[in-house]
Amino acid sequence: MSGVSSVLTGNRRVREGQSVNDVNLSGRCIAVLGMGIMGRSMVRNLARAGAEVVVWNRTIDTARKMAGGAIRVVATPAQAARTADIRIIVVADSQALADVVLGSEGVLAGLNGRGLVIDMGTSSVNATHELAAQVAAAGGEYLDAPVSGGERGASAATLSIMVGGSELAYATALPILQALGQNIRRIGKVGAGQVAKAANQIIVGLTIEAVAEALALARAAGVDPARVREVLAGGFADSRILHLHGQRMLEGDYSPGGRALTQRKDLELALALAADCGLELPATSLCRERYDELIAAGRGDCDHSALAVLYPPLDPEN
What is the set of active-site residues? 197
Burial of 213 (0-12, 13-18, 19+ CB in 10 A): middle
How many angstroms separate the CA atoms of 318 and 309, rounded?
Answer: 9
Cβ proximity of 149 and 160 under 8 Å: yes
How many angstroms separate the CA atoms of 127 and 88, rounded?
Answer: 16
How many angstroms separate the CA atoms of 201 and 47, rounded?
Answer: 29
How many angstroms separate the CA atoms of 170 and 177, rounded?
Answer: 9
How many angstroms separate the CA atoms of 38 and 205, rounded?
Answer: 19
Cβ proximity of 198 and 266 under 8 Å: yes
Contacts of 2 (CB under 8 A, 6+ apart): 16, 17, 167, 170, 185, 186, 187
Cβ proximity of 107 and 117 under 8 Å: yes
How many angstroms separate the CA atoms of 147 and 90, rounded?
Answer: 10
Q: Are strands 6-9 and 12-15 parallel, antiparallel or unpaired?
A: antiparallel
- Torsion sign across C-alpha atoms 236, 282, 127, 77: negative
DSSP single-letter state for residue 303: B
